Amino acid sequence: MRTPALLLAALLMSLTALPLKAAEGTVLITGANRGIGLALAREFTEAGFEVIGTARKPNKATELKATGARVVQLDVTDDASVAAMAKTLEGVAIDIVINNAGVALDRGRELADLDMGAIERTFAVNTMGPIRVMAALYPNVKAGDRKLFANISSMMGSMEMNTWGCCLGYRASKAALNSASKTLAVDIGKKGMTFVVFHPGYVQTDMNEGQGNITPAQSAAGLTKVIAGLNAKDNGKFYDWQGKELPW
């Protein structure tokens, strides 16, 4: 008969042999090396999630690495980069994907002032980027428990809330992301997947040259709480960073 000490030792050995998994699940955040993305990485880590953060230049993502996140290279505009990320994460179950990477490159109001190159680049990052990521990581999210795609959009992507114009490319790219997310919610929601879009607030980031009325940390704290509490009933919804539903 084994002694209590031997039984305890055997139990401890069996526990250490088990694969480690975060209690709350795994979340992948694109554009996590700065701004809202970095703040989200910190918040989700503190909330008990295992975090995978992407960056175009991982060797420079020192603050992201400091959070304890696993850092993966990703340029959302590059098919090869997206494919390489998917290969790296093959077989990894991901509960939540947060498409956060985004740009705001155009601010003109006159047709004569439009920079078509900037608008194309904006669509490449803000619209096509999240679609590429969702397609590439669909198997990973399908294997996760929460099965959630949370896309960081903007109230500027809302048709109903567009009362002051400006930033044609940015607005249109976010409206297109909203439309794509809603379409996927209808098409794939019936398979148990959940797609939700978010307005992160008017946040003080490099994107708007530090303007805004809330900090990245405040936005991320609100978003983390709302995203972590989502379920299938939220499929196809548009929320702000505090959980208020917004009009399309």
pLDDT range class, residue 205, cuts 50, 70, 90: confident
Read off the pLDDT of residues 34-92 as tens digits, 9 standing for 90 and up. 999 999 999 999 999 999 999 999 999 999 999 999 999 999 999 999 999 999 999 99
Q: Rounded to an integer, what distance in angstroms lies between the CA atom of residue 160 and that of residue 125?
A: 24
pLDDT range class, residue 14, cuts 50, 70, 90: very low
Catalytic residue flag (residue 170): yes
- pLDDT at residue number 210: 64
Q: Kindly report the pTM of this predicted structure.
A: 0.90
pLDDT range class, residue 4, cuts 50, 70, 90: low
Catalytic residue flag (residue 244): no
Treating both helix axes as pointing N-terminal to C-terminal, what angle do 129-143 and 79-88 enclose, rounded to 10 degrees?
A: 10
- pLDDT at residue number 212: 77
Nearest CA among 37, 128, 163 for reference residue 52: 37
Q: Rounded to an integer, what distance in angstroms lies between the CA atom of residue 37 and that of residue 162?
A: 25
Q: What is the 3-state secondary structure (H, E, C) of 135-199?
A: HHHHHHHHHCCCCEEEEECCHHHCCCCCCCCCCHHHHHHHHHHHHHHHHHHHHHHHHCCEEEEEE
Helix (H) or strand (E) holding 99: strand 96-99
Q: Rounded to an integer, what distance in angstroms lies between the CA atom of residue 210 and that of residue 203?
A: 8
Catalytic residue among 21, 65, 87, 174: 174
Catalytic residue among 87, 147, 170, 225: 170
Residue 11 has pLDDT above 60, yes or no: no
User: Would you call 35 helix, strand, or coil by DSSP?
Assistant: helix
Q: Which domains does the chain have, with CATH numbers?
A: 22-240 (3.40.50.720)
